[in-house]
Amino acid sequence: MIKVTIWNEYQEERQYDHVAKVYPKGIHGALYDFLSKNEDMEVKCVTLDMEDQGLSEEILNDTDVLLWWGHQAHDLVSDEAAKRVQQHILNGMGFIPLHSAHYCKVLKEILGTSMCLRWKHDEKEKLICVNPSHPIAEGITEPIILEQEEMYGEYFDIPKPDEIIFLGWFSCGEVFRSGCTFTRGWGKIFYFQPGHEEYPIYYHPQIQKIITNAVRWAKPVNKRNNDYDNVEVKHE
Ligand code: ZN
């Protein structure tokens, strides 16, 4: 079983009617609904307003893959909680930051660049797979058209990714590295751009397929379980 934890700041769905209409159960609820259908996954949801911001050692210890949706509350995540998540990634936990989570404390600190990008509201996106043999692309043979999405554009200030799986093209002429993988320590990271809160992106079957594939890919192969202390060398 893959133990999946979905973390959502869960703010805009409660503040704005037009967002609540798209995601009445919260963005985490929409992610939960399709991920929990997989028999190899045990899924739980946590939110910013929970004890320890939903990111206690107990919860993280019980997580193989952490999905993260955040936007306006990045600064409300405590440095301690961000550090805990970072340490768990370094020890092998998979991490999937979605959409505006590019700018969350955890990702900024663990990747080490500004994570800045260009953005513009309400554009059509064509999401194109540029790495069809990658496990995250399994079953994605045609470009995905998102009639309405927020445009994210280059230059996207990330470190050089291990692999680029998807490119986004937007109707205003911008392009974006929309699906990228990174490795930090023992942990695997997949950043995935689609998922602006005003549009029903997470109900799209192919977007759901990509996120499902990403969870299976990001599952730890091994978790770090020792501290690599000084080893006494024996000369024979
Ligand atoms: Zn957005």
Identify whether the C-beta of residue 83 lies closer than 8 Å to the C-beta of residue 44.
no
Residues with CB under 5 A from ligand 1 (ion): 100, 150, 196
Exposure string over 122-138, b if 16+ CB within 10 A, otherwise e: ebebebbbeeeebebbe
Which residues does the chain have with pLDDT short of 70? 226-231, 233
d(CA 139, ligand 1 centre) in Å: 26
d(CA 150, ligand 1 centre) in Å: 6
pLDDT of the residue at 235: 73
- Phi, then psi, of 144 in degrees rounded to 5: -100, 130
pLDDT of the residue at 37: 98
pLDDT of the residue at 232: 73
d(CA 135, ligand 1 centre) in Å: 26
Exposure string over 21-39, b if 16+ CB within 10 A, otherwise e: ebbeebbbbbbbebbeeee
pLDDT of the residue at 119: 96
pLDDT of the residue at 103: 97
pLDDT of the residue at 227: 67
pLDDT of the residue at 225: 78
d(CA 226, ligand 1 centre) in Å: 39
Domains assigned to the chain? 2-115+179-218 (3.40.50.880)
d(CA 230, ligand 1 centre) in Å: 47
pLDDT in tens, 146-203: 999 999 999 999 999 999 999 999 999 999 999 999 999 999 999 999 999 999 999 9
Identify whether the C-beta of residue 183 lies closer than 8 Å to the C-beta of residue 160.
no
